[in-house]
Amino acid sequence: MPASPTDLFAFLDAHDIAHATVEHSATFTVEEGSDLKASMPGGHSKNLFMKDKDGTLVLISAWAESKLRLNQLHKLIGTRRLSFASAELMSDCLGVVPGSVTAFGLMNDKQNRVQFIADAALMGFDTVNFHPLVNTATTAISQADLRRFVELTGHSLKEVDFSTL
């Protein structure tokens, strides 16, 4: 069974990672969450779960305002050309469904199949915001604690400046 939001919060608490969560209506796009962004400080994220033809799996967490040239991303992150991964693969690896993709899904990737890429623009914020495994809430943590969380899940964080595309 994949981790639930309750499991995520227990994990954060067990590792002394401060977090604050706001519940809201389901949001499926960055635009749908625009009112929330106005009320929650920090960098809001957009998250993409992608794969290349060799089967490399990549989770990208970018600042919501960053412009991502999907046909050019592979050049910056060292993969072959990327496409969106299937909902089934997303569920298998990250334990989430489309619309709920989040860096917190790394806690469900026990086999370490997913590479994590973070946008330098997002990591420039003191506080970063992600869905807590569901798209009916947003959880804020410090970007330093995000780095710790990623490490605690056995992953590494590769920071990339997408503005160079």
pLDDT of 32 > 80? The answer is no
- Domain assignment present for 36: no
Indicate yes or no: pTM above 0.85. yes
Number of domains into which the chain is organized: 1
85 is a domain residue: yes
Residue 82 belongs to some domain of the structure: yes
Max distance between CA atoms of the chain, in angstroms, equals: 41
**Mean pLDDT across the chain:** 93
Domain coverage including residue 94: 5-27+42-164
34, pLDDT greater than 70:
no
Domain contains 102: yes
Q: Return the pLDDT at 27.
A: 76
Q: Distance from CA of residue 94 to its chain's centroid?
A: 10
Q: Are 56 and 79 in contact (CB under 8 A)?
A: yes
Decide if 33 is inside a domain. Answer: no
155 assigned to some structural domain: yes
Q: Identify whether 62 is part of a domain.
A: yes
Query: Is pLDDT at 24 greater than 90 in this prediction?
Result: no
Q: Does any domain span residue 87?
A: yes
* Of 149, 119, 126, residue with least CA distance to 47: 119
Q: What is the CATH number of the domain that holds 52?
A: 3.90.960.10
> What's the CA gap between 82 and 44, in Å, rounded?
23
Q: What is the pLDDT of residues 115-146, one digit of tens each?
A: 999 999 999 999 999 999 999 999 999 999 99
Ordered DSSP codes for 85-109: PPHHHHHHHHS--TT---GGGGGG-
How far apart, in Å, do the first and last CA atoms of the chain sit? 38
Name beta bridge partners: 49: 59
